[in-house]
Amino acid sequence: MTPARSALLLAGLMASAGLAHFAAPRQFDSLVPRSLPGSPRAWTTASGVAELALAAGLALPATRKASARASVLFFAGVFPANVKMAYDWRHRSTTARAIACARLPLQVPLILWARHAGMQEVRRGPAGLGG
């Protein structure tokens, strides 16, 4: 898959996640670590806005590389919320625990996806004529 197509798909995923922060904020509020200052809703709103901004940046070729790099940092930054979710859900059903734990390693492919989305397109010349 080309980096441009990858960036557009990641932009769609991030836009959907960003909108979800506004459509159902309570589920995200509960993931905010208590050690962060301010209200959980403020962090939910900020992360939703960040995801929407990153999605827009990934969709535009002029800002794609910078947005892809920022997306890598964003995915790394939300990892503590996934750890908190796994800890908080440790007494829930087996299915819920499995979902919470599965989110932890999911950050790695998201980070790699963002890195790929920010790569330069490789342009190739006509077949047999070199690069």
Query: pLDDT at position 120, please?
Result: 79
Query: pLDDT at position 125, please?
Result: 55
The answer to whether the beta carbons of residues 44 and 81 sit under 8 Å apart is no
| Short-list 111, 113, 89, CA closest to 102 | 89
Query: pLDDT at position 122, please?
Result: 60
**Interatomic CA distance for residues 73 and 50, integer angstroms:** 11
Taking each continuous run of H as one helix and of E as one strand, the counts in the chain are 6, 0
Kindly report the backbone phi and psi dihedral angles of residue 67, in degrees, each rounded to the nearest multiple of 5, phi listed first.
-70, -35
Query: pLDDT at position 35, please?
Result: 84
pTM of the model: 0.83
Q: How many CA atoms lie within 13 A of 46 on its CB side?
A: 12
pLDDT tens by residue, the chain, 131 residues: 899 999 999 999 999 999 999 999 998 998 888 888 999 999 999 999 999 999 999 999 999 999 999 999 999 998 888 898 899 999 999 999 999 999 899 999 999 999 999 997 766 656 555 54
